[in-house]
Copies of this chain bind each other. A is one copy, B any other.
Amino acid sequence: MTVDKERPAHPTSGLDEVVHQRHRLGILTIADEAERVEFTYLRETLGLTGGNLSRHLAVLEEAGLITVEKGYQGRWPKTWVSISERGRAALTAELEALHELVRRRRSRG
């Protein structure tokens, strides 16, 4: 970072790529709205392939932002995703930075 000390950092400088990437932002937003959410629901709601969703879940799990639990519903294998406290905090920080961007634009009319 070479940001001038006299100049406050731009809101986008503080965004975390792990959270900001649009599909991961979608996963966190949805997981934040329920206690836990099923893989197929995420895949369909976000319009992702299973492989793509799996890769994004791995990034979020690696960062400690979600937990992934595998189990069965009757005979069917299911994968459940829950947001962690750290994930909720990261999502809050992201949405605050985004809100700041929206506010800047609006304050200019």
Q: Is the interface of A mostly helix, strand, loop or mixed?
A: helix
Q: Do A13 and B95 touch across chains, with their CB atoms under 8 A apart? A: no
Q: Known: A2-B47, A95-B101, A105-B95. Contact between A23 and B12, CB under 8 A? A: yes
Q: Known: A17-B22, A26-B13, A30-B10. Contact between A44 and B99, CB under 8 A? A: no
Say if the beta carbon of A67 comes within 8 Å of chain B: no
A97–chain B nearest beta-carbon distance, Å: 9
Q: Do A105 and B29 touch across chains, with their CB atoms under 8 A apart? A: yes
A57–chain B nearest beta-carbon distance, Å: 15
Chain B residue nearest to A27 in the complex (CB) = B12
Q: Which residues of the partner chain B approach A1 to less than 8 Å between Cβ atoms?
A: 47
